[in-house]
A and B are shown apart, each in its own frame.
Chain A
Amino acid sequence: MIKAILVFNNHGKPRLTKFYQYFNEEMQQQIIKETFQLVSKRDDNVCNFLEGGSLIGGADYKLIYRHYATLYFVFCVDSSESELGILDLIQVFVETLDKCFENVCELDLIFHVDKVHYILNELVMGGMVLETNMTEIITRIEDQNKLEKQEAGLAAAPARAVSAVKSMNLPQQIKDIKLPDLPAAIKDLKF
């Protein structure tokens, strides 16, 4: 079971939090903080999982993370999950984001956290892995986006125009997440 999925940047600012076990908001923030402290002090060339912090359940849980440019993707899982499997899952998640946002960057996560949630919901449900096949995931997400567009229809046109105008002054979106080249071993891995 996955207990929590946290995405935060290099400064510990949460970009996505998903807890599959209830913690109140204050606790959630403390967990994010603690996890950030645990993860951020580690070099990039060290093992990328570690025992969970005391707040989230201690040694029974493992934090498995990947660090992409400015973002940390951290999965807190129990012993029933395979560490390497989860690492692959994170890769699938990030690649899916990359496909959905076309070169995903931190800003995409900042401004479209809801969409990221919807994508994540197609991967993981209630703490259990729902789907690992990327094409299937993307089909589902596109279907839902289509549905949303249909519903919005013409009525949404003025709103879209306004929001387009609003985002004019948005600074050039920096595509700062660079997906590393996949090592051969992972590319072979077909879910």
Chain B
Amino acid sequence: MALRKVKGNLERMFDKNLTDLVRGIRNNKETESKYISQCMEEIKTELRQDNLAVKANAVAKLTYLQMLGYDISWAGFNIIEVMSSPKFTYKRIGYLSASQCFHQDTEVLMLTTNMIRKDLNSHNMYDSGTALTGLACFISGDLARDLANDVMTLLTSTKPYLRKKAVLLLYKVFLKFPEALRPAFPRLKEKLEDPDPGVQSAAVNVICELARKNPKNYLSLAPVFFKLMTSSTNNWMLIKIIKLFGALTPLEPRLGKKLIEPLTNLIHSTSAMSLLYECINTVIAVLISISSGMPNHNASIQLCVQKLRILIEDSDQNLQAQTGKVVKYLGLLAMSKILKTHPKSVQAHKDLVLQCLDDKDESIRLRALDLLYGMVTKKTVMEIVRRLMTHMDRAEGTMYRDELLQKIILICSQNNFQYITNFEWYISVLVELCRMEGTQHGGLIASQLMDVAIRVVAVREFTVGQMALLLDNAHVIVGPAAARSSIAEVLYAAAWICGEFSQLLANPKATLESMVRGKVVSLPGHIQAIYVHNMLKLYAHIIATAEEEDDSEMIEEVTTLLLERLPVFVSSGDLEVQERASCIVHVVTYVQKCHKNGDKVGVDLIHLMTGELNPVAPKAQKKVPLPDGLDLDVWINDPPSESEEEEDDAFKKEIFVKAESSSRHKKEKYEPSEEELQKLRDARRAEQASNPYYVKSSAQTSPRPNHNSIQIDEIPVAAIDLNVSLKIPGMTSLDKYQLVDGWQDGSKKRHKKQKKRSKRKGPLTSSSDEEIRQAHVVNTDVGEMPEGAHFSDDNEVDDRPEDDPHRALDIDLDEPLAPNEVLPTRTHYEVHSQKTPEESNEANLQPSQTPTKKKSKNKKDKKEKKEKTKKVKKEQKKVKKKFTGNEENLILDLMDSVKVAAISDETPVAANHINGITDAKNKEKPTDDLDFWLSKDDSSSQAPSEPIVDGTERTASPSSYPSGRDESKSKKTKTKKEKKAKKEKGKDKSEKKKSRKREKVEDSSIRNREEYEETNGTVTQDLEDKPVIPTVQPNNRLLAEDSFLRLDYSTAAMDGVMSEVLVCIKFTNHSSKSISKLQLMLPDSSALKMIRNDPQSELVNLPWTLDPGESKESQLSFTAEDDTIPDKLRGSLSYIQDGTSSSDLSLRLEFPVTTFLSGKTASRATFTDLLSSGQLSARSSFTIPECPWSFPEVLEEVTRGGSLAVVESVDQTASLYGRSLHGHHVCLLVKYQASSRLTVDGKSTEGILLSNALDHLKTVLMQKQ
């Protein structure tokens, strides 16, 4: 045997190890694949051997080959063998290999469950560590479900190394097995406060990851994170937290206000670039979310922008080149975020951004461009565009140049040309852009040209002039490089504009000639078609004018020109061109014929082309409603052309009428014909016509405008003579607009005139706060839209893909756990297999055998539960199938607690214990916590030294009396809650007033009930299960009183995770002097311990002063070791009155057992389950023969303080439920008989508790006698 081992070792020596393999591959570069396939064969034989060392070596080599792209999944079983090795060395190799090639669908993973579990629970920390790491890579849904509990156990490991890894793994578990999230979450939350910073960081990491996808569920954790943020020095964690806050602030603006200060502090103090950047980013997010005014709001923005500037500027000098660029890039990115909300603060740094345009890195340049887009104002647009254009000349690479061109156009055209004050300048820019070689954005330029020409009536003439020049110089534009670019598109626009507005042409004939001449035929078909069509328009115009002037020579000339050139187009390859050309040839021949007969056809001809053009909204086509009775599938017998036309017309009319009567459409149009000028004198009409925003009725717009009658005078534009130079061939220069602005001087008079008018008009000029006024008016119509359609009614789409696991993780974590919401635990399969299906059905029907759980009663939850049980059943079946025939009874299976509960009564408790899931506190609590935390004023009267364990609403408004409504208020949707909170604020105010009044009047320790009735809300926890609506009264009791000070206190059991009793003490100063330096001395008793900040000291300092008449509250929390017996604490309060005389007051805090009870988790279902389960072994009862109180009063008294809650109430009988801090149940049946005889029957899991509780109740109820 020994010999064999030695021999095995010797053989092994000469096997290839990983190093040999690598070296071999390097030595066989030419024949690599051949060499590797040879190695693969070797590996396969090695894997067949029994020696685990050999196998491990083989697997290690496989892992290397996997990296090179070889599939090694065939060795899955061998990998698992190596993973199961007892030696760490081999185990590690196995797990590494598994993490590289296994994934959630790998089938062999099924075999690994128990092995991994063994490793997780191994004594060797690194075995567990390796298993955790590996599992994080290949965890599947089944593994997650089966091992969730083991991972949870590791959370409490004594080794931070394992805790850390387990916490991280939890995230993967949640992804694959979302049901685990709710039961595991309390534990995860605890880890946020783990003593080890690494574990803390891991927990932060996981929660951030969860919260990123479903932020709203994690809002309640904000206070914890806030604390971490202000205390931690771990930059990595800080970054994560700050990023998380960035995601949370949009949901809770109040959070933002709280964040600003610590974040600015961090910005000031940190030296880490990464942290600084994230801080700035979050501050920006915060400022965006709090749109409402904040006092030092601007200061923060300024700080951010300044810091960013320093980042961007310094990044080149102080940092390693690469990092510097990153910082620069990110800086610009952050700036663009600020820009969206605070454009002014960023605009000041225009120089910096322009500087970045010269950066070597293209991505930085593009970022800078993005920024510029938003930085443009009316004042700066010309300069920025000029800079961009000079930049474009220097820029290399058409890609980037195209990007620049596009940006220029976007900058100028944004918001309906919002920033353009001078459209002539813009047209010149566009014309200049046409000279860009090889651009792909010809279409863009063309559409801009057309857009401006149509919408800005004032510059139409100028545009037409420029376009004529363009047409004339077409050969320059469409150079040899044109084939690869789309610049020819501008000719499309030019031809169209010249044709459409031919009446504005200075020399129509010359333009017509330039259109006919040249290499038009070489242009793309659709441009040729436009050319041909617009030739006709020009022709018509020329003929009409010539006829008026009786210039028959001109007519002759033009007609022959066309007839000469058009045949070229008739023989065009493009059908459209061909068709149009032949049509036009016929028209021209006809006109020629008419002229020969001496007929004048010019006017008729021009009528072919007249008609006002209205912009059509881009979405209009889609929004046209389907007319009644129109079935597109039905065959239409009529000739399509006719019917189409008719329909179209009908449509248009309707659309136009509606559109124009809607106020959305502001139509601006100059119709300054002679007649109308006359009418202008009529005051009403004058206003209508002169106000560009006046919505004109269709009656006024529909008549075909007489183009000839447009009066240049009316157009508020520079005199043409200034632009005469432009008509010289060659393009306009842009400089003149910036340097001289001559046109402005020339038109000053006109401006003045306009100003005068605008005073009357009002809104036109007052709308722009910039000093620079717009020279031309733009028709900013959104365009025609069909009736009833809205311009932007896009549907919101959830951008998360269907298979995103985070969808499943959108789980409300504040809701208390339902009884079946525990992690699957291991049980003996044997037991389960003996169950008949009926039994398991029963088990499913009675899921609440786990009495410690509060059942969640949401309909939705029920559904979920059902699904879950279904799932469980399925899984059961699966498991059964899998293991049938397997004789080993010890095979462990996982079951849902439902089953577990059915099997034994102990299991649920055990499971409970293992998971550390005690019932979650009242679901309201965390959010109230948050509300409280958020609304807490920094200088609030709250004693900062007090451990703030729970801040229900009562602390949020210090002077309002504690009321039970908060505890019992049911949580609905978040928005509802917010609304409620707002309402409550209002209520608080009224309460305040009341409480003041009350202070004067009241003399007894028990409050007058009527005063509360208004403020106390009703229990609406669950309407479905709880038809009774009992009111919960606070249990205020007098603690101590002397002539100066009065102390009241109330208690509430915070069962669940905390298992604490919260005592709220209210200090009321009813002397006429102020009281300060209050010190509370409260020694602990044997069972009751106060949670103190300083465990050594029995003193509690209350660091505030009480002014005369003022009352303040302080909260103390206690833990109770024994919750079955009543307790009391004696202590004293010392205070100084008026700064001089000190006094003492002795106190006695009573803790009857009901203090330890809480009825928050009461529900009918759990109640009946409890009663039928037989757990309630203890019974007790008492009778009061002649109860002086009415039934409602009795109920009110019993439920005071929320220690017991009414589960059901019928007539004069009610059942109540309460649960103690340590999970004992108390069920009461209160019967009130006609003869005012009161019987209270109690059942409980704990006899002493029950008898003590009943004793207490009896004394309370008897008191009145």
Are A125 and B89 in contact, CB atoms less than 8 angstroms apart? no
Are A128 and B168 in contact, CB atoms less than 8 angstroms apart? yes
A121–B169 Cα distance when bound, in Å, is 13
Are A185 and B271 in contact, CB atoms less than 8 angstroms apart? yes
The 0/1 profile, CB within 8 Å of B marked 1, for residues 106-134 of chain A is: 00001101100110010001111111110
Q: Tell me if B9 is interfacial: C-beta within 8 Å of chain A.
A: yes
Are B17 and A163 in contact, CB atoms less than 8 angstroms apart? yes
Q: Tell me if B273 is interfacial: C-beta within 8 Å of chain A.
A: yes
User: How far, in Å, is B1085 (CB) from chain A's closest CB?
Assistant: 44
* Residue in B18, B168, B271 whose beta carbon sits within 8 Å of that of A125 in the complex: B168
Are A189 and B243 in contact, CB atoms less than 8 angstroms apart? no
Are A130 and B164 in contact, CB atoms less than 8 angstroms apart? yes
For B323, list chain A residues within 8 Å (CB): 48, 84, 87, 183, 185-186
User: How far, in Å, is B984 (CB) from chain A's closest CB?
Assistant: 35
Are B88 and A151 in contact, CB atoms less than 8 angstroms apart? yes
Q: Tell me if A55 is interfacial: C-beta within 8 Å of chain B.
A: no
For A111, list chain B residues within 8 Å (CB): 18-19, 22-23
The 0/1 profile, CB within 8 Å of A marked 1, for residues 88-99 of chain B is: 110011001000
* Residue in A45, A110, A148 whose beta carbon sits within 8 Å of that of B325 in the complex: A45
Q: Tell me if B14 is interfacial: C-beta within 8 Å of chain A.
A: yes
Are B89 and A158 in contact, CB atoms less than 8 angstroms apart? no
Are B243 and A152 in contact, CB atoms less than 8 angstroms apart? no
Q: Tell me if B630 is interfacial: C-beta within 8 Å of chain A.
A: no
Are B318 and A47 in contact, CB atoms less than 8 angstroms apart? no
A114-B63, A131-B164, A151-B88 are known contacts. Are A185 and B10 too (CB-CB below 8 A)? Answer: no
Are A25 and B69 in contact, CB atoms less than 8 angstroms apart? yes
A3–B97 Cα distance when bound, in Å, is 18
For A162, list chain B residues within 8 Å (CB): 13-14
For B70, list chain A residues within 8 Å (CB): 25
For A130, list chain B residues within 8 Å (CB): 164-165, 168, 198, 202
Near A by CB (< 8 A), chain B positions 329-343 give 329-330
With CB as the reference atom, state the residue of chain B lying closest to A170.
Answer: B23
User: How far, in Å, is B54 (CB) from chain A's closest CB?
Assistant: 11
Are B96 and A114 in contact, CB atoms less than 8 angstroms apart? yes
With CB as the reference atom, state the residue of chain B lying closest to A28.
Answer: B69
Are B209 and A80 in contact, CB atoms less than 8 angstroms apart? yes
For B23, list chain A residues within 8 Å (CB): 111, 166, 170
* Residue in A129, A147, A159 whose beta carbon sits within 8 Å of that of B205 in the complex: A129
Are B161 and A140 in contact, CB atoms less than 8 angstroms apart? yes
Are A46 and B325 in contact, CB atoms less than 8 angstroms apart? yes
A44–B273 Cα distance when bound, in Å, is 20
Q: Tell me if A144 is interfacial: C-beta within 8 Å of chain B.
A: yes
A29–B70 Cα distance when bound, in Å, is 10
For A125, list chain B residues within 8 Å (CB): 132-133, 136, 165, 168-169
A128–B198 Cα distance when bound, in Å, is 13
With CB as the reference atom, state the residue of chain A lying closest to B212.
Answer: A80
The 0/1 profile, CB within 8 Å of A marked 1, for residues 347-375 of chain B is: 00000000000001111100000000000
* Residue in B209, B212, B363 whose beta carbon sits within 8 Å of that of A50 in the complex: B363
For A18, list chain B residues within 8 Å (CB): 100
Most central of B133, B208, B233, B363 by chain A CB within 10 Å: B133
For B321, list chain A residues within 8 Å (CB): 44-45
Tell me the total A-B contact number using a CB cutoff of 8 A.
201
User: How far, in Å, is A57 (CB) from chain B's closest CB?
Assistant: 11
A132–B201 Cα distance when bound, in Å, is 10
Are B69 and A26 in contact, CB atoms less than 8 angstroms apart? yes
A126–B243 Cα distance when bound, in Å, is 20
Q: Tell me if B104 is interfacial: C-beta within 8 Å of chain A.
A: yes
Are B13 and A159 in contact, CB atoms less than 8 angstroms apart? yes
The 0/1 profile, CB within 8 Å of A marked 1, for residues 259-277 of chain B is: 0000000000001111001
Q: Chain B: interface secondary structure?
A: helix
How many chain A residues sit at the interface, stated as a range, is 35 or more
Near B by CB (< 8 A), chain A positions 140-159 give 140, 143-144, 147-148, 151-152, 155, 158-159
A130-B165, A148-B88, A162-B13 are known contacts. Are A82 and B277 too (CB-CB below 8 A)? Answer: yes
* Residue in B60, B126, B360 whose beta carbon sits within 8 Å of that of A143 in the complex: B126
For A184, list chain B residues within 8 Å (CB): 318
Are B329 and A185 in contact, CB atoms less than 8 angstroms apart? no
With CB as the reference atom, state the residue of chain B lying closest to A18.
Answer: B100
Are A191 and B234 in contact, CB atoms less than 8 angstroms apart? yes
A187–B169 Cα distance when bound, in Å, is 31
For B362, list chain A residues within 8 Å (CB): 46
Q: Tell me if B206 is interfacial: C-beta within 8 Å of chain A.
A: yes
The 0/1 profile, CB within 8 Å of B marked 1, for residues 37-49 of chain A is: 0000001111111
The 0/1 profile, CB within 8 Å of A marked 1, for residues 40-68 of chain B is: 00000000000000000000100110111
Q: Tell me if B235 is interfacial: C-beta within 8 Å of chain A.
A: yes
Are A180 and B320 in contact, CB atoms less than 8 angstroms apart? yes
Are A113 and B239 in contact, CB atoms less than 8 angstroms apart? no
Are A189 and B67 in contact, CB atoms less than 8 angstroms apart? no
For A188, list chain B residues within 8 Å (CB): 271-272
For B63, list chain A residues within 8 Å (CB): 113-114
With CB as the reference atom, state the residue of chain A lying closest to B197.
Answer: A133
Q: Tell me if B835 is interfacial: C-beta within 8 Å of chain A.
A: no
A16–B164 Cα distance when bound, in Å, is 25
* Residue in A14, A46, A163, A189 whose beta carbon sits within 8 Å of that of B235 in the complex: A189
A125-B136, A144-B92, A151-B89 are known contacts. Are A24 and B71 too (CB-CB below 8 A)? Answer: yes
Are A158 and B13 in contact, CB atoms less than 8 angstroms apart? yes
Near B by CB (< 8 A), chain A positions 66-80 give 66-67, 80
Near A by CB (< 8 A), chain B positions 785-825 give none
User: How far, in Å, is B128 (CB) from chain A's closest CB?
Assistant: 12
A28–B67 Cα distance when bound, in Å, is 9
* Residue in B10, B66, B126, B277 whose beta carbon sits within 8 Å of that of A84 in the complex: B277
For A151, list chain B residues within 8 Å (CB): 87-89
The 0/1 profile, CB within 8 Å of A marked 1, for residues 68-94 of chain B is: 111100000000000000011100110
Q: Tell me if B278 is interfacial: C-beta within 8 Å of chain A.
A: yes
Q: Tell me if A102 is interfacial: C-beta within 8 Å of chain B.
A: no
Are B19 and A167 in contact, CB atoms less than 8 angstroms apart? yes
Near A by CB (< 8 A), chain B positions 90-129 give 92-93, 96, 100, 103-105, 124, 126, 129
A118–B326 Cα distance when bound, in Å, is 29
Q: Tell me if A176 is interfacial: C-beta within 8 Å of chain B.
A: no
User: How far, in Å, is A23 (CB) from chain B's closest CB?
Assistant: 9
User: How far, in Å, is A30 (CB) from chain B's closest CB?
Assistant: 9
Are B137 and A185 in contact, CB atoms less than 8 angstroms apart? no
Most central of A50, A143, A186 by chain B CB within 10 Å: A186
Are A87 and B274 in contact, CB atoms less than 8 angstroms apart? yes
* Residue in B164, B168, B273 whose beta carbon sits within 8 Å of that of A185 in the complex: B273
Are B67 and A113 in contact, CB atoms less than 8 angstroms apart? yes
Q: Tell me if B328 is interfacial: C-beta within 8 Å of chain A.
A: yes
For A152, list chain B residues within 8 Å (CB): 89
The 0/1 profile, CB within 8 Å of B marked 1, for residues 84-115 of chain A is: 11011000000000000000000000110110
User: How far, in Å, is B56 (CB) from chain A's closest CB?
Assistant: 11
Are A22 and B104 in contact, CB atoms less than 8 angstroms apart? yes
A143–B68 Cα distance when bound, in Å, is 30
Q: Tell me if B512 is interfacial: C-beta within 8 Å of chain A.
A: no
For A147, list chain B residues within 8 Å (CB): 88-89, 124, 126
Are B234 and A88 in contact, CB atoms less than 8 angstroms apart? no
A47-B328, A47-B364, A125-B133 are known contacts. Are A16 and B274 too (CB-CB below 8 A)? Answer: no
A126–B167 Cα distance when bound, in Å, is 12
A44–B322 Cα distance when bound, in Å, is 7
For B202, list chain A residues within 8 Å (CB): 128, 130
Q: Tell me if A138 is interfacial: C-beta within 8 Å of chain B.
A: no
- Extra contacts, 14 of them, besides A82-B277, A190-B235 (Cβ < 8 A), are A18-B100, A43-B361, A44-B322, A84-B323, A114-B63, A125-B136, A128-B168, A129-B201, A151-B88, A162-B14, A183-B323, A185-B323, A186-B323, A191-B236
Residues on A lying within 8 angstroms of B by beta carbon are 1, 14, 16-18, 20, 22, 24-26, 28-29, 43-50, 66-67, 80, 82-85, 87-88, 110-111, 113-114, 117-118, 121, 125-133, 136, 140, 143-144, 147-148, 151-152, 155, 158-159, 162-163, 166-167, 170, 180, 183-186, 188-191
3 tightest Cβ-Cβ pairs between the two chains A and B: A126-B136, A84-B274, A22-B103
